[in-house]
Chain A
């Protein structure tokens, strides 16, 4: 502690407004949505209890939280029940992210998240400080790095900017089923579902379906279902549009010498840097419609888990294939392979068998109570068609030290996984796969998602062994150079 000039600072006073905000919102919702006075009264009592308990704790938390930043380190002292003194040397800082949500932008405050290489989570979180202070902290922690690379003013760094016209086009392609479900849930909670008429319509349909259907009713039923589907589709599309527009508004990415700089968002403004070392693999996504018009989206799978990104961070939300390749290969060097190898054709047989079982079992069970379940069998040809498409759209290649995997029909994925980033190699073979001489090859990268991760399903056994040996061979060669 030789820096006498470094004074301990407190967080911004408006932090309390942030603390109180959620409580107030919760209270207002409970108050306005329940017509019964008993619920209103109990929500009032809960709010008072909450205030009595959380008020002093927040105050104590605020008073205990002190920090100072120099170009060498960030020092934080905090904790009410468990006191923590944390020093983060600035050369260990990997990423300084500044996040400003809607309220923060009104109040002129920001959250500063400091990530180090140690763990996946942000290790130093300063919520909230003023915007000026946030920028000061970032600049201070970054000076340590920029002194290492003095040639900062090299000509135009590779960058990408999502201009407004293109953002609008990109939003058109979005479709959000998840958000729709949330909206319906919220409206139902607020007893406003009548607005959409969805619940009423649904009940209508159920009633009609379970009871006798006369010919005139049948006509209305068909109309209802069509209308319902149309309403849902349009709503999903509008919501997807809004979500995409808000999230990627003014998206800007710039590839610096050591780090990637990004800034984006309409309501919550996100700004951050990311060292190249943290990028584990690239995921290029598309869907049939986007692909038709040569539009793609590129994400980086990183070790750091920034909120809401699940280890995947947008690199280019919407771009042409050539642009994706140009920028992507600067993030993780790769060249586009010319040919891909298909997985074994036997996959169609395995998937058909699986889908048939998955459809037959519930249909047969349902049939005992509900004879209409027979119609479920019409799904069979569709499922077989899907199995065939899945075969067509799943291919891989190992090219130039990168494993490329193409998968999925609707949300098409192309993984670019550098072999030196592999953490573990795995070959899986289920009972059915073994009967057909197939297996699944999985590779694990640091921080990869459990649900979304690179894998090649239904490779021929000998092919998989050969690929694994080849991957591992290159891996060993490269890992030694590290």
Chain B
């Protein structure tokens, strides 16, 4: 079984920070409202402080754990992946069931020269099996291997 590229931890850390930042305007608004209200029940700055603490703890722990539990393997006839911290998911996608393949990369991933391999099947539940944090070359290589298999067996 193969591990993801360790650089993916940095990508996830940045993404996690960004995601928590979305909540920042809300907590800031709540705090400003508190500051100008007469109520003494909550300290102003409580919400933002809480948010920052949760965000930091989350960002320090979750990407590392997620990395630790991610495994994948391209086997002869299928793609095998194990992942998940709380809910451990083990998926087998038979290559002959693959409808189409994407290699995707966003700005942050691009910065670390990483990419995601997205595998689509006709199913609905595990339609998109995404393998994140692959070196770009590796993702392309995987895609081509799978593509060749599909082309060979689907005529």
Minimal beta-carbon separation of A218 from chain B (angstroms): 38
> CB within 8 Å of A: which of B87-113?
87-94, 96-97
Whether the Cβ atoms of A424 and B126 lie closer than 8 Å is yes
Instruction: Name the B residues within 8 Å of A447 (CB-CB).
Output: 122-124
> What is the size, in residues, of chain B's interface with A at 8 Å between Cβ atoms?
21
Report which of B89, B93, B94, B121 forms a contact with A479, defined as CB distance below 8 A: B94
Give A400 to B54 CA distance when docked, in angstroms.
52
A350 within 8 A of B: no
Minimal beta-carbon separation of B90 from chain A (angstroms): 4
Minimal beta-carbon separation of A203 from chain B (angstroms): 33
Whether the Cβ atoms of A424 and B89 lie closer than 8 Å is no
Instruction: Name the A residues within 8 Å of B89 (CB-CB).
Output: 426-428
A446 within 8 A of B: yes
Whether the Cβ atoms of B92 and A468 lie closer than 8 Å is yes
Instruction: Name the B residues within 8 Å of A425 (CB-CB).
Output: 91-92, 94
> What is the size, in residues, of chain A's interface with B at 8 Å between Cβ atoms?
26
Give A453 to B84 CA distance when docked, in angstroms.
21
Whether the Cβ atoms of B125 and A446 lie closer than 8 Å is no
Minimal beta-carbon separation of A423 from chain B (angstroms): 3
Instruction: Name the B residues within 8 Å of A453 (CB-CB).
Output: 124-125
Minimal beta-carbon separation of A357 from chain B (angstroms): 15
Whether the Cβ atoms of B87 and A424 lie closer than 8 Å is no
**Given the known A-B contacts A424-B93, A468-B92, are A444 and B86 also in contact in the complex, defined by CB atoms under 8 Å?**
no
Whether the Cβ atoms of B88 and A424 lie closer than 8 Å is no
Q: A394-423 interface mask toward B, CB cutoff 8 Å, 1 = contact, 0 = none? A: 000000000000000000000000000011
Report which of A424, A427, A430 forms a contact with B97, defined as CB distance below 8 A: A424
**Given the known A-B contacts A424-B97, A430-B86, A479-B96, are A449 and B91 also in contact in the complex, defined by CB atoms under 8 Å?**
no
Minimal beta-carbon separation of B87 from chain A (angstroms): 5
Give A133 to B60 CA distance when docked, in angstroms.
66
Instruction: Name the A residues within 8 Å of B126 (CB-CB).
Output: 423-424, 426, 442, 444
B130 within 8 A of A: no
A448 within 8 A of B: yes
Instruction: Name the A residues within 8 Å of B97 (CB-CB).
Output: 422-424
A170 within 8 A of B: no
Q: A445-482 interface mask toward B, CB cutoff 8 Å, 1 = contact, 0 = none? A: 11111100100000000000000100010011001000
Whether the Cβ atoms of A426 and B94 lie closer than 8 Å is no
Please give me the residue from chain A that is nearest to B80 by CB atom.
Answer: A425
Instruction: Name the A residues within 8 Å of B73 (CB-CB).
Output: none
Give A434 to B86 CA distance when docked, in angstroms.
10
A429 within 8 A of B: yes
Whether the Cβ atoms of A475 and B91 lie closer than 8 Å is no
B129 within 8 A of A: yes
Q: B120-154 interface mask toward A, CB cutoff 8 Å, 1 = contact, 0 = none? A: 01111111010000000000000000000000000
Minimal beta-carbon separation of B68 from chain A (angstroms): 15
**Given the known A-B contacts A424-B97, A430-B86, are A450 and B125 also in contact in the complex, defined by CB atoms under 8 Å?**
yes
> CB within 8 Å of A: which of B50-98?
77-78, 86-94, 96-97
Whether the Cβ atoms of A424 and B124 lie closer than 8 Å is no
Give A13 to B122 CA distance when docked, in angstroms.
39
A431 within 8 A of B: yes
Give A476 to B87 CA distance when docked, in angstroms.
28
Instruction: Name the A residues within 8 Å of B129 (CB-CB).
Output: 424
Report which of A423, A427, A444, A476 forms a contact with B77, defined as CB distance below 8 A: A476
Whether the Cβ atoms of B125 and A444 lie closer than 8 Å is yes
Instruction: Name the B residues within 8 Å of A303 (CB-CB).
Output: 122
Minimal beta-carbon separation of A449 from chain B (angstroms): 7
Task: List chain A positions with a Cβ less than 8 A from chain B.
Answer: 303, 422-431, 434, 442, 444-450, 453, 468, 472, 475-476, 479
Known: A423-B122, A447-B122. 9 other contacts (CB 8 A): A424-B125, A427-B89, A430-B86, A446-B121, A447-B123, A448-B125, A449-B124, A468-B92, A476-B77
Can you list 30 A-B contacts with CB-CB less than 8 angstroms, sorted by A residue number? A303-B122, A422-B97, A423-B94, A423-B121, A423-B123, A424-B97, A424-B121, A424-B125, A424-B126, A426-B89, A426-B90, A426-B92, A426-B125, A427-B89, A427-B90, A428-B87, A428-B89, A429-B88, A430-B87, A431-B86, A444-B124, A444-B126, A444-B127, A446-B123, A447-B122, A447-B123, A448-B123, A449-B124, A472-B92, A475-B94
Query: What are the 7 A-B residue pairs with the smallest beta carbon separation, nearest first?
Result: A423-B123, A444-B123, A446-B122, A425-B92, A427-B90, A424-B126, A423-B121
